[in-house]
Amino acid sequence: MSNPAKLYLREIYDAFSFMGTWLPNANLRLGDVGVLEGEAFKQITTLKDLGIPFKVREGEKKSDFTYTSKSGVRLKTKVAGEVAVGSTLPLANAGVSIQFEDEGAFLFQAAGCVTDEIGNRLEVGQAILKLLQAEIWKANWAVVSTLVHADSATIVVSNTGSAVLDLTAKAPLALANLANLDTGLSVSSQRGDLIRFIAAQGLSPLFKLSRAKHSLVAKFLGEPAEITFGGVGEEQEDLSEEEPLEIVAL
């Protein structure tokens, strides 16, 4: 994985306590099972293929996620008829110029997001434990247990230390609504190497994983592990078949 991707995924987690989908348009689904390779999730199989049924608890309220990397990004909007110094935006168009000064600098805006989750987590956890005991489920596997779907998203990541992206708009826009489909954003010009998704539909840019890990409480008490989903953290622990196990969220 490239360094810009690592920087993007680390800062997305720090900002939202969600993991970032990489690439942002990857076809990630609830119940996907795989491993973490660095900061990125690699899908191997699915709960369905492993014979584990699950229920989906669908999100109802929509929300927006907006974040700009801590350094290396400058944005400037213009209205139609205004001259934008340092950009190639046409005089007649409204638009925005996004300047990236650092490798890994990024802009993230996801609008109209709903969060779906695995609903029957207790049953899924019990089924995973059985597969662990049968040596079918691998100790380093994790399952996508929460997934954020966006109506539209604008995500731009710079692969170089200097890049500029100029976007024109069909309607007046503000820096907070660059993912809005109604603005009619389109690329006017680009300088430098960028990964970009402009007001893209159908993305699931954020997710959470759950996995089996040591149950320190069960080990201390000498009791069977409690199967549950809970606890959030980014540290990956080594697992051993001899240790009690529980199912917890990353």
pLDDT single digits (tens) 76-94: 877 665 665 566 666 657 7
Round the CA-based radius of gyration of the chain to a whole number and report it: 21
**Prediction pTM value:** 0.84
* pLDDT at residue number 84: 59
HSE of 163, CA atoms in CB hemisphere, 13 A: 21
pLDDT tens figures, 101-140: 999 999 999 999 999 999 998 899 889 888 988 999 998 8
Is 55's pLDDT higher than 90? yes
Contact 104, 8 (CB under 8 A): yes
Kindly give the pairing relationship between strand 63-68 and strand 106-118: antiparallel
Nearest 10 degrees: Cα torsion 137, 212, 209, 51? 30
- Helix extents (H) in the chain: 3-16, 121-133, 216-221
Kindly give the pairing relationship between strand 152-158 and strand 194-200: antiparallel
The more confident residue out of 250 and 213 is 213
Structure tokens at 140: 């380093």
pLDDT tens figures, 162-205: 999 999 888 877 788 899 888 889 998 999 999 999 999 999 99
Distance of alpha carbon 81 from alpha carbon 103, whole angstroms: 32
Q: Which residues lie below 8 Å from residue 43, measured CB to CB, with a gap of 6+?
A: 28, 32, 33, 34
* pLDDT at residue number 240: 33
Is 245's pLDDT higher than 80? no
Give the strand order in the sheet containing 163-169.
Answer: 73-78, 94-100, 163-169, 186-191
Is 208's pLDDT higher than 90? yes
Sign of CA dihedral 60, 66, 70, 71: positive
Is 216's pLDDT higher than 70? no
Band of residue 243 on the pLDDT scale cut at 50, 70, 90: very low
pLDDT tens figures, 1-25: 679 999 999 999 999 999 999 999 9
